[in-house]
């Protein structure tokens, strides 16, 4: 199972790197739960996909050049669901220097047809926008 989860996040990383919105969307359930430091909300995939291009454009505008996923831990919850703890290394380039920012998230994945995995819960463990802003303000 660990290998399948690693392959799943490798697909996510690849789709993200080329701004493949439909590829990113294929990794999420029709409806999923998103949680973060400011609360939780139910999100429809079609609504999420409408904001992905704007999010990508924003992060590119502030210097994000690469996002790498690393699966830290996988826990099988039952035959249909599993939990994946993931670290993301975000690489930023600015005129003065390159920076890395580590972000952490927990995902609950569901096995669907033909054992395909999809994200049904995503919990970001930090406010990414605030962490980026804080890092940029700390630069000399």
Label residue 78 by pLDDT band (50, 70, 90): very high
Sheet architecture: strand order including 117-124: 39-44, 28-36, 117-124, 98-111, 81-93, 64-76
Contact 72, 85 (CB under 8 A): yes
The shares of helix, strand and coil residues in the chain, as percent rounded to the nearest 5, are 35, 45, 20
| Tokens matching residue 88 | 């993301």
| 93 bridge partner residues | 98
> Quick one: what percent of the chain has pLDDT higher than 70?
91
Q: Which segments of the chain does DSSP mark as H helices, in order?
A: 2-17, 21-25, 45-61, 128-138
- Residue of 63, 134, 69 whose CA lies nearest to 92: 63
Residues 81-135: pLDDT tens digits?
Answer: 999 999 999 888 765 666 888 899 999 999 987 889 999 999 999 887 777 777 6
Burial of 8 (0-12, 13-18, 19+ CB in 10 A): buried
137 contact partners, CB below 8 Å, separation of at least 6: none
Domain 2-133 classified CATH 1.10.1060.10? no
Q: Which segments of 62-105 does DSSP mark as H helices, in order?
A: none
Residue 12 has pLDDT above 90, yes or no: yes
What does DSSP assign to residue 113? Answer: G
């Amino acid at each position: 199972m660990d290998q399948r989860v690693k392959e799943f996040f490798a697909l996510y990383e690849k789709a993200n790197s080329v701004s493949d919105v439909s590829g990113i969307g294929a990794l999420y359930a029709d409806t999923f739960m998103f949680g973060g430091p400011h609360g939780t909300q139910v999100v429809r995939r079609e609504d999420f996909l409408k904001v992905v291009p704007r999010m990508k454009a924003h992060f590119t505008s502030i210097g994000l050049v690469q996002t790498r996923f690393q699966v830290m831990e996988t826990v099988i919850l039952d035959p249909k669901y599993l939990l994946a703890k993931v670290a993301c290394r975000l690489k930023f380039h600015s005129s003065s220097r390159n920076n890395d920012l580590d972000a952490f998230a927990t995902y609950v994945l569901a096995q669907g047809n033909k054992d395909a995995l999809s994200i049904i819960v995503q919990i970001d463990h930090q406010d990414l926008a605030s962490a980026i802003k804080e890092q940029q303000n700390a630069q000399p």
